[in-house]
């Protein structure tokens, strides 16, 4: 059974870059690697609706914290069987965002911390009710807010299809979300966490060591 490994972090933290580098390092060791990113905006109708809401195309839906969280959760519910199949066929299944993203952003929108009722509600919804697979390891790519914001700005400037959404343009939300992520990692919420420095270069400089860790 392969390991389910999740990369979490703020918008602009460099999750995709880390996933690319880690995939290369794992392949170099002969590992079979599968990747998936959430939300699956182009594959799942619930994720598509969430994206429309984040760009103001669905009235006041984006104002409902629980409503948005349910859409993101349903996206993962739809992928649950595929994730289980990937774990059977690959050594590592690498995910860009997962359940913790839903917990962190929703709690931040409600001004709650990692021990608050919203985080517990997300676990009850996604894990207990929807039965999505529980990760083996969660990697928090931690970066200063200014670095994450600058990266998100550059990404939006370079690609018109990746214009910043409602969450990405709210710097206060991003700051609160970072604090919730720290709390989730500190408590090993849902599964063990490892915190990586996404600004100083250590995350990408130590990919070989991380790949060895993931392969046991």
Query: Is residue 189 predicted with pLDDT exceeding 90?
Result: yes
* DSSP summary character for residue 9: -
Q: Residue 46 falls within a domain, yes or no? A: no
Assess whether pLDDT exceeds 80 at residue 32. yes
Q: Name the residue range of residue 24's domain.
A: 3-39+80-215
CATH number at residue 24: 3.40.50.300
- Residue 159 in any domain: the answer is yes
- Name the residue among 84, 73, 71, 191 with its Cα closest to residue 133: 84
pLDDT, tens only, 125-174:
999 999 999 999 999 999 888 887 677 677 666 656 666 677 877 889 99
51 falls within a domain: no
Please give the average per-residue pLDDT across 66-91, as a whole number. Answer: 98
Q: Is 67 part of a structural domain of the chain?
A: no
Residue of 115, 107, 9, 99 lying closest to 66 (CA atoms): 107
List residues bridging with 34 in a β-sheet: 93
Round to whole Å and give the CA distance between 3 and 66.
30
Domain-embedded: residue 72? no
Asked if residue 138 belongs to a domain, the reply is yes
- Whether 152 maps to a domain, the answer reads yes
Residue 64 lies in a domain: no
**Angle, alpha carbons 2-6-11 (nearest 5°):** 155
> Structural domain tally of the chain?
1
Model confidence pLDDT, tens digit, residues 37-73: 999 999 999 999 999 999 999 999 999 999 999 999 9
pLDDT at 204 over 70: no
**What global pTM score does this model have?**
0.90
DSSP E strands in 70-123: the ranges are: 92-96
């Amino acid at each position: 059974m392969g390991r389910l490994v999740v990369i979490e972090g703020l918008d602009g933290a460099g999750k995709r870059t880390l996933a690319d580098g880690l995939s290369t390092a794992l392949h170099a060791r002969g590992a079979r690697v599968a990747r998936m990113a959430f939300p699956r905006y182009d594959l799942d109708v619930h994720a598509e609706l969430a994206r429309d809401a984040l760009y103001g195309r669905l009235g006041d839906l984006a104002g409902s914290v629980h409503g948005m969280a349910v859409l993101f959760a349903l996206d993962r519910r739809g992928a649950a069987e595929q994730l289980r199949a990937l774990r059977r066929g690959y050594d590592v299944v690498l995910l860009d965002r997962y359940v913790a993203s839903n917990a962190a952003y929703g709690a931040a929108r409600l001004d709650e911390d990692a021990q608050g009722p919203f985080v517990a509600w997300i676990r009850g919804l996604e894990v207990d009710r929807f039965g999505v697979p529980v990760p083996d390891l969660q990697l928090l790519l931690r970066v200063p807010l200014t670095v994450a914001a600058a990266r998100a700005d550059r990404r939006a400037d370079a690609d018109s299809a990746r214009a910043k959404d409602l969450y990405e343009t709210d710097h206060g939300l991003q700051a609160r979300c970072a604090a919730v992520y720290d709390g989730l990692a500190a408590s090993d919420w849902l599964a063990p966490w490892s915190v990586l420095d996404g600004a100083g270069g250590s995350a990408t400089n130590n990919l070989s060591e991380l790949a060895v860790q993931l392969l046991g």
